[in-house]
Amino acid sequence: MTEADFLTATRTFYDTVAEDYAARFLDALAKRPLDRAVLAGFAELVTAGGADGEVADLGCGPGEVTAYLASLGLPVFGLDLSESMLAIARREHPGLRFQQGSMLELELADGALAGVLSWYSSIHTPVDRLPGLFAEFHRVLAPGGHLLVAFQVGDEPRYHDRPFGHQVSLGFQRRRPEAVAELLSAAGFALVSRTVREPDDTLGEPTPQAALIARKPPRAAG
């Protein structure tokens, strides 16, 4: 089966910009206390949720967030389309596992994971592919497992044309939290929290930032 065009475009883009992207966002979390708070809440929910399995950081990029979740005690690994991103993640975080793949078709058994993180990685997935993406997240989560999806809020996509001087370009979708919440619910998730923070001008963020936490319902007792 040939890869969808949007996946090829995404992979090519990140393979090309990986080193510059990583240098720019290396300490991104250190400057974003509210993002750390959401991730810490997610980690605690996963731990308390009682679902068995690892946590997957899907679309992990250079692995900073993977490492942060690991520092909070989660048994986490990263997955990304881009081999160049993965090379940086392995270099920067040698104690963690990073593997190549597409989060739209995970080579994982049903119910294998206690947690799924998609931290600004669904932003390159076209809207008509989101139901399939969220169905895949639901499939690989164990009953009672948690999902965190973060993305930029808005209606208009942003187009990154020749970033850092490279001859590549790629669209980034912005979304409405209520629309994403509806899709998660349609995929079988129960929404746990919907957090929207204002853009931080000092970090060059043009729009608010959303983080939705949802849970695959636990198996009914008895």
Ligand X SMILES: C[S@@+](CC[C@H](N)C(=O)[O-])C[C@H]1O[C@@H](n2cnc3c(N)ncnc32)[C@H](O)[C@@H]1O
- From the list 103, 116, 211, 212, which residue makes contact with ligand X (rule: CB under 6 A)? 103
**Judged by CB under 6 A, how many residues of this single chain contact ligand X?**
22
Region 82-101 residues binding ligand X, contact defined as CB under 6 A = 82, 85
- From the list 119, 134, 137, 151, which residue makes contact with ligand X (rule: CB under 6 A)? 119
Piece in contact with ligand X (CB under 6 A), picked from 54-62, 91-99, 197-205, 214-222: 54-62
Q: How far is the CB of 191 from ligand X (least distance, A)?
A: 21
Confirm or reject binding of residue 115 to ligand X (CB under 6 A): no
Region 168-197 residues binding ligand X, contact defined as CB under 6 A = none
* Cβ atoms of residues 203 and 140 within 8 Å: no
Q: How far is the CB of 59 from ligand X (least distance, A)?
A: 3
CB nearer to ligand X: pick between 26 and 196 = 26
- Comparing every residue's Cβ against ligand X, the nearest one is 61
Site residues (CB under 6 A) for ligand X?
7, 10, 14, 25, 58-61, 64-65, 79-82, 85, 102-104, 119-121, 124
